[in-house]
Amino acid sequence: MYSDDSWLDTPRFEKVKNGEIPDEVILFMVNHNFYDENAAPPGKQVLVSGTVCSSNPEAKEIEALWKKMDDQMQQHFPDIWEACERREYNGPKEIAELTRDSVIEGQGGECVGLAQIVGQCGKHKPDSNAPINGLYIAGADAGAKGMGTHQSTLSGIAVARMVQLYLLGRTKMR
pTM attached to this predicted model: 0.61
Answer yes or no: are the C-beta atoms of 7 and 26 closer than 8 Å: yes
Report the C-alpha gap between 30 and 49 in whole angstroms.
6
CB-CB contact of 92 with 112 (8 Å) = no
Please list, in sequence order, all residues whose beta carbon lies within 8 angstroms of the beta carbon of residue 163, skipping any fewer than 6 positions away: 136
Contact 116, 147 (CB under 8 A): no
CA nearest to 110, candidates 92, 137, 89: 92
CB 161 within 8 A of CB 136: no
Return the pLDDT at 101. 56
For every residue of 86-101, which 3-state class applies, written as one string? CCCCCCHHHHHHHHCC
pLDDT of residue 115: 52
One pLDDT digit (tens) per residue for the chain, 174 residues:
778 888 888 899 999 999 999 999 988 888 888 877 888 889 998 888 988 888 788 889 999 999 999 999 999 999 999 999 999 998 888 877 766 555 566 665 555 455 555 566 667 778 888 888 888 988 777 777 766 667 778 888 999 999 999 999 887 544
CA 165, CA 160: separation in Å to the nearest integer?
Answer: 9
Q: Are 115 and 142 in contact (CB under 8 A)?
A: no
Largest CA distance in the chain: 57
Q: Looking at the DSSP assignment, which residues form a beta bridge with residue 28?
A: 50
Query: Are 51 and 67 in contact, with CB atoms under 8 Å apart?
Result: no
DSSP assignment string, 29-74: EEEGGGT-TTSS-TT---EEEE----S-TT-TTHHHHHHHHHHHHH
Do 156 and 137 touch, CB atoms closer than 8 A?
A: no
